[in-house]
Amino acid sequence: HKKGRIGVVSRSGTLTYEAVGQLSDLNLGQSSAVGIGGDPVNGLKHKDVLELFMNDSETDAVIMIGEIGGTDEETAAQWYARECKNKKPVVGFIAGVTAPAGKRMGHAGAIISGGKGTAQEKLAVMETCGIRTTRNPAEMGELLKSVL
């Protein structure tokens, strides 16, 4: 971790470290990195942390990392589009693009059901709401740098 002005919110611990490492390698430090976990019931949602970052004078931009399952990322993206699309840039990545529907992946929160919660659906909503996305986790840092 490196002190700086980029916020990271993630459902994945491993991808949090990956994003922080990429940012640090690009000399982009972090104001905070918040892991919200991937289970369906958690204390904070992406929207909660995104709102905190939008109101934080020490955060200039955000990486939002999600996973398949649930609709948390879509809810956060829709809130961002309504409330603060032009305030601070947000970029995103969703893990699980190749995950088969109906298959539990890793933990209780990572399950796609009823056509909801797919990586493709989440990425499409995020992009429609003004959040630039990548389908390659190795590009998160460079994508964030490109919007500054």
Looking at residue 92, its pLDDT comes to 98
1 is catalytic: no
What is the distance between the alpha carbons of residues 10 and 38, in angstroms, rounded to a whole number?
9
What is the distance between the alpha carbons of residues 141 and 21, in angstroms, rounded to a whole number?
8
Two structure tokens written together for 133: 């996305």
Domain edges within the chain: 3-146
DSSP type of residue 116: B
The top-level CATH class assigned to 3-146 is: alpha beta
Contact in structure between 74 and 122 (CB atoms under 8 Å) = yes
Residue tagged active-site, from 85, 107, 116, 132: 107
With a cut of 50, list the residues of the chain below it in pLDDT: 108-110
Looking at residue 108, its pLDDT comes to 46
Two structure tokens written together for 100: 């088969």
Q: What's the half-sphere exposure (Cβ side, CA atoms, 13 Å) at 115?
A: 0
Looking at residue 105, its pLDDT comes to 55
What is the distance between the alpha carbons of residues 35 and 25, in angstroms, rounded to a whole number?
20
Contact in structure between 8 and 23 (CB atoms under 8 Å) = yes
